[in-house]
Structure 1
Amino acid sequence: MVSNGVLEFVREDDYIEYFLFPRLVAEDITEELNEVLLHVKGITEKFCENYIWHRDSFAVRARPGNAHLLSEGQDTKSMTCENKEELPAHLYGITHYGDNIEDEWFIVALLYELTRQIPGLIVRCVDGDGEFLLIEVANHLPTWATPENCHQCVFITNGALHLIENSTDTLPVLDGIQLIRDTPAAYRVSNDIENCISLRAGGYPARIKEHLHRATAYVPVGVAALLKHKPALIASAIREFCSRDSVDMKVCRAMRFFPPENRVNTRITFTKCLYAMLAHSNYIPDRRTGWNLPHQGSKSFPEQCLGMKIACGFEILASQAKPNTDWDTNRQWLKYVDSLRSKGYFQDLIEGSKGYTHLMDAAKDYYRINLSEIRENSLIGQQLIDDLKSIDCNIEEFRKLEASLPPSDDDSWLAVSPEDLDKMLSERYGEQSVNGDCEMTEKLTEFLAQKSFVDGVEATAPPVRPQRGVKKPKGKVHFAAEETDSPAGNNVDFDPDAFQTHVKNLLDLVIPEDKWDSNSDMSDYGDDTDIAKNIDEMHLIKTNTNLGMYMNQMDKELSKTTIGESFEKKPTEDAFDDIEDFTPVDIDLNTLKNMMESYQAQLGGPGPASNLFGAMGVRLRPPEEHKSED
């Protein structure tokens, strides 16, 4: 995006921000903060060993107390979720995880570990959705927790999550930190919430190997040498190949940096996310470039096809290389520095002094990560070319190692069967409960009886204390509206006893008597003259006549027809022994039967029946699965 001749950076939403607030007691806060930074880097390096980041790695930098001015110096369109209020001295970092959400939860696990090993460290982390930790544990939150009163109220310390109960006003971060330091036990979350977080972020770093996949690929010797030197480069290469455009396709036809003439077999480590992206990205290379892929049925085709895609990814990276930033001639950087000066970021320090240099380095660091028009891939491409010139690409050495390469890992995990999906859903949401017909209809009745508005189901209103000196009326309930300009008002009189009587009359179903004997199924209808006569008689009945007369007449006419055969009947009970050929209808079973027939007609897809079952918390298997079991 271009504005006033300057490139603006628009933040993507696949990121996680983290703020580390250590307990600082020394007079020289900057020096103590740098010591904490070194401690954090040491723990991080050990914790993240052998981890392959999908895009950005975990990285923090020291920020002084006026660090909020760094974000105020940029355009508001490029701001992140980062708090714009003045914060105490802290460590700050931001990581873009791209398509692999597992990177975000790995960072959460790392933040937990940092708070365990560094006493007094309090951490806050957010992503593009805000307080994503609360979103993950939404089913276990206390009733008072809402998105409005939980903003900036979630902290991690001593290896545990803490949640501060707050009003609708946003809690200042500094106040939240102080509350956690004073009484941490008062704000610690329940075990259910911790267990829910542990399902996503627990078990690291030992769990890293579960997300890795190793395979043999036939790649140019330059690619093999680069991956041996820096295995993490595989992520950038695959991302570039999978997001290629028409310009990148022209680059792949040239293959100037990694020609396919000299290729070797090498073992490459991927994350499962990266391997799946590469395996499902189809590409047919130009044979004129030198790619001589075998037939798809050949044993060596998977290795050669995989290597061809990886080589094209490295070629795209190398083609995007640009030199490092020239700070003295970069117009965007100079404008950013002027904005910092106008806001007092440099605190009137003399240019070239130790304090000024420290603030300038912090500003360059922030600019390089957040605002620089020279994007990440350009820097990686330049570094890749520099490394390619310095490392040894001995093709004979790689060919000696080819004979001892282990076989590739099994990639059958790429195919997820319906049974595997059901297992994942069961592990995630629990086993499906077995519901009887009575329980099902009870849930349906309870669901239909609820009132739902914009904010959800209407809660029962609390009892209202009657006014002093006002007598409570007997027999009738009066609902008085608020005072209006109308002299008559809007008072409503409601007689609950009369209302209950009318409703009972409407729903009163009379059991047929045994005097309805008949010799044939059709004898109760009579001829057309009798039916017309009955209709005329019903029109003459007064409006205040009991509705039971109508119900008796209808039951008498329908008792011997075939319509009753379409309903499921309950087993005969002693109470109906005196009534010939009468079996009461099983209301629960008929309701469930009709809903199941509707669900089967939908073939398990979305529709009224599946929506109704979902609202009642019932999850059914597709009809095809039941047929296969039968």
Structure 2
Amino acid sequence: MVSNGVLEFVREDDYIEYFLFPRLVAEDINEELNEVLLHVKGITEKFCENYIWHRDTFAVRARPGNAHLLSEGQDTKSMTCENKEELPAHSYGITHYGDNIEDEWFIVALLYELTRQIPGLIVRCVDGDGEFLLIEVANHLPTWATPENCHQCVYITNGALHLIENSTDTLPVLDGIQLIRDTPAAYRVSNDIENCISLRAGAYPARIKENLHRATAYVPVGVAALLKHKPALIASAIREFCSRDSVDMKVCRAMRFFPPENRVNTRITFTKCLYAMLAHSNYIPDRRTGWNLPHQGSKSFPEQCLGMKIACGFEILASQAKPNTDWDTNRQWLKYVDSLKSKGYFQDLIEGSKGYTQLMDAAKDYYRINLSEIRENSLIGQQLIDDLKSIDCNIEEFRKLEATLPPSDDDSWLAVSPEDLDKMLSERYGEQTANGDCEMTEKLTEFLAQKSSVDGVEATAPPVRPQRGVKKPKGKVHFAAEETDSPAGNNVDFDPDAFQTHVKNLLDLVIPEDKWDSNSDMSDYGDDTDIAKNIDEMHLIKTNTNLGMYMNQMDKELSKTTIGESFEKKPTEDAFDDIEDFTPVDIDLNTLKNMMESYQAQLGGPGPASNLFGAMGVRLRPPEEHKSED
């Protein structure tokens, strides 16, 4: 996927990069770096035991001090967020986690463990969103922390997160590492931040089993043998099946490598993410291929349908197989090496020497990750075919094991009810406090008092964590007139200040004190003189003549009705003892009552009331829940 003058590299954003900076004191830095790398690999193998990666595994490679020249030697954009500044000798890795973000947090847990077991190790990790650890703990960050002044300021060491306070200028990584080494306690984050990270990454590796799902599938014997030999192959097969295209569909009709004639039942281990992807990917196979699936109500249908999908995934992988790369004949690779030589990457070392070989291996790793046109699936497919030739596919042995297979795990976790979703959200973001009548009306008044332009009201809301991987467009209200091509006659003439004044005047209408000579709430409507007098004395009634005329006309019409009897009244107060037969209207309660009736009329769906509640930051349960509680 490299540009050839026309096409440009498209950067993927489902990755996590990690930089491991050990404390190097020996004269031979490269030798000491390799020793640390062996230690890292030993810890990783133990920590990642039985873990099924969705796409890439965790892998680190030694990088010399001049590794920044690797990115300078390329002619295209790197798919990662590496910059070209000079870094100290370190170990580096990148993992694409695809659709399963749990892989990213598992790597964070692993990085924490590495810093606990390797003294002096400092780790930096970023993903496609940048400093994603800060995004996760956004609600607990200090007030000075912003995206502009936190770039390259987040590090992990001694099993704890550290944040360096910085100006708007980007802090060089070399300076950040030195600050952490000199005074680590000064930059350690608060307990709230650590607890927030621990909720996502603290339960590993014990949590590995919780994310697994085991099920019986009826698959071709070759697939069963491959999965027994390498259980992790299930991830590649499911990914290929779920992302199949028209070319892959033709491959599935042929089934050249895994014909459906010889099938056996076998127990397969999935991650919950992989199982959900496979279960919700619908596919009807061609009967001419040999798939004789029973009807959907049959007891054996789930096992056979699951096995058919897995077999198709393996078939797609095998069809993509290509021989390994010949580095000596790859023109693009040779051009890249010449560019590295011209920039002094190999440091005048003799070709074939130990140091030269290490630098060459690092360059190959970088090229394979960032610049190679070779697809990862091609290498996996070739390895799959090679393994298929070498392993024993004894169908009789698998048939003997069928009788001892345990039942499949319960997959009811696939169905998430609204109550389960609310529970997960409350565990993630906390319970929301109940809103009282006064609080609701106060929020409404505050919302309507917001100053805004024609672009819309910017309502204040409690801070929430930004959604991962989503670029938020700037909010703007578009009028229909803006979308027409006519330059004249469709412009909107809108005065926001005048509109706000009118709305506020309507909300601030109050009845003046000690003017209560009526016998009922609505009797004053019969006296035009008193109506005019009361209106003149109303608080903040300084509006134009048209509005006053409309109000007068409305009062006259309402005076002939019994609408006043529908209002909710306030409890009698001493302040109105001198007024006969008067019970003041509870404005707050009436406002809330009308809004709730409007919300119930929407049956919990979208509408004016729910939109207004949402803008005020108020979340209401569906009307059905209130009925069930009553």
Larger mean Cα displacement after TM superposition, 574-583 or 309-318: 574-583
TM-superposed CA distance for 1:569, in Å, is: 1.2
3-state SS of the aligned residue for 1:193? helix
Name the count of aligned residue pairs.
630
Residues 23-51 of structure 1 show CA distances to partners (whole Å, capped at 9, x for unaligned) of 10111000000000000000000000010
Residues 124-155 of structure 1 show CA distances to partners (whole Å, capped at 9, x for unaligned) of 00111101111111111111111100111111
**Structure exhibiting the larger radius of gyration computed from Cα positions:** 1
Residues 280-318 of structure 1 show CA distances to partners (whole Å, capped at 9, x for unaligned) of 111111111111111111111110110011001001100
Larger mean Cα displacement after TM superposition, 595-604 or 233-242: 595-604
Structure 2: how far apart are the matches of 1:535 and 1:498?
20
3-state SS of the aligned residue for 2:468? coil
Contact persistence 1:22–1:120 (CA under 8 A): yes
Residues 597-621 of structure 1 show CA distances to partners (whole Å, capped at 9, x for unaligned) of 3433444344554344344443211
Residues 2-22 of structure 1 show CA distances to partners (whole Å, capped at 9, x for unaligned) of 644798653311000000000
Structure 2: how far apart are the matches of 1:586 and 1:437?
11
Larger mean Cα displacement after TM superposition, 77-86 or 485-494: 485-494
3-state SS of the aligned residue for 1:217? strand
Structure 1 pair 605–340 and aligned structure 2 pair: CA distance change class (3 A): farther
Structure 1 pair 578–45 and aligned structure 2 pair: CA distance change class (3 A): same
Structure 1 pair 597–339 and aligned structure 2 pair: CA distance change class (3 A): farther
Contact persistence 2:599–2:609 (CA under 8 A): yes
Structure 1: how far apart are the matches of 2:80 and 2:465?
49
Contact persistence 2:525–2:555 (CA under 8 A): no
Larger mean Cα displacement after TM superposition, 362-371 or 293-302: 362-371
Residues 202-227 of structure 1 show CA distances to partners (whole Å, capped at 9, x for unaligned) of 11000001110000000111100000
Contact persistence 1:216–1:407 (CA under 8 A): yes
Which residue number in structure 1 is paired with residue 128 of structure 2? 128
Structure 1: how far apart are the matches of 2:541 and 2:160?
75
Structure 1: how far apart are the matches of 2:49 and 2:339?
40
Residues 558-600 of structure 1 show CA distances to partners (whole Å, capped at 9, x for unaligned) of 7896343343211112322332221112122123223323433
Seq. identity, %: 98
Structure 1: how far apart are the matches of 2:178 and 2:149?
18
TM-superposed CA distance for 1:551, in Å, is: 11
Structure 2: how far apart are the matches of 1:296 and 1:144?
59
Contact persistence 1:251–1:319 (CA under 8 A): yes
TM-superposed CA distance for 1:550, in Å, is: 13
Which residue number in structure 2 is paired with residue 41 of structure 1? 41
Contact persistence 2:512–2:538 (CA under 8 A): no
Structure 1 pair 34–512 and aligned structure 2 pair: CA distance change class (3 A): closer
TM-superposed CA distance for 1:543, in Å, is: 12
What value does the CA root-mean-square deviation take over the aligned residues?
9.7
TM-superposed CA distance for 1:485, in Å, is: 40
TM-superposed CA distance for 1:629, in Å, is: 3.3
Residues 51-76 of structure 1 show CA distances to partners (whole Å, capped at 9, x for unaligned) of 00000000000000011111222234
Larger mean Cα displacement after TM superposition, 259-268 or 69-78: 69-78
Structure 1: how far apart are the matches of 2:462 and 2:267?
68
Structure 1 pair 451–123 and aligned structure 2 pair: CA distance change class (3 A): farther
Structure 1 pair 102–491 and aligned structure 2 pair: CA distance change class (3 A): closer
- Structure 2 unaligned regions, length at least 5: none
Structure 1: how far apart are the matches of 2:398 and 2:482?
88
Structure 1 pair 500–530 and aligned structure 2 pair: CA distance change class (3 A): closer
Structure 2: how far apart are the matches of 1:472 and 1:236?
32
Contact persistence 1:613–1:619 (CA under 8 A): yes
Contact persistence 2:20–2:90 (CA under 8 A): yes
Contact persistence 1:478–1:493 (CA under 8 A): no
3-state SS of the aligned residue for 2:373? coil
Residues 355-378 of structure 1 show CA distances to partners (whole Å, capped at 9, x for unaligned) of 222111111121122222111000
TM-superposed CA distance for 1:480, in Å, is: 40
Structure 1 pair 519–591 and aligned structure 2 pair: CA distance change class (3 A): closer
Structure 1: how far apart are the matches of 2:592 and 2:202?
42
Structure 1 pair 625–174 and aligned structure 2 pair: CA distance change class (3 A): same
Which residue number in structure 2 is paired with residue 466 of structure 1? 466
Contact persistence 1:477–1:495 (CA under 8 A): no
Larger mean Cα displacement after TM superposition, 228-237 or 364-373: 364-373
Structure 1: how far apart are the matches of 2:466 and 2:403?
91
State whether structure 2 residue 493 is matched by structure 1 residue 493: yes
3-state SS of the aligned residue for 2:10? coil
| TM-score, reference length from structure 1 | 0.85
Larger mean Cα displacement after TM superposition, 319-328 or 518-527: 518-527
Structure 1 pair 452–348 and aligned structure 2 pair: CA distance change class (3 A): farther
3-state SS of the aligned residue for 1:274? helix
- Structure 1 unaligned regions, length at least 5: none
3-state SS of the aligned residue for 1:433? coil
| TM-score, reference length from structure 2 | 0.85
Contact persistence 1:15–1:95 (CA under 8 A): yes
Contact persistence 2:3–2:76 (CA under 8 A): no
Structure 1 pair 530–280 and aligned structure 2 pair: CA distance change class (3 A): closer
Structure 1 pair 343–463 and aligned structure 2 pair: CA distance change class (3 A): closer
3-state SS of the aligned residue for 1:7? coil
Contact persistence 1:8–1:371 (CA under 8 A): no
Structure 1 pair 381–463 and aligned structure 2 pair: CA distance change class (3 A): closer
TM-superposed CA distance for 1:398, in Å, is: 0.6
Structure 1 pair 424–520 and aligned structure 2 pair: CA distance change class (3 A): closer
Structure 1 pair 530–118 and aligned structure 2 pair: CA distance change class (3 A): closer
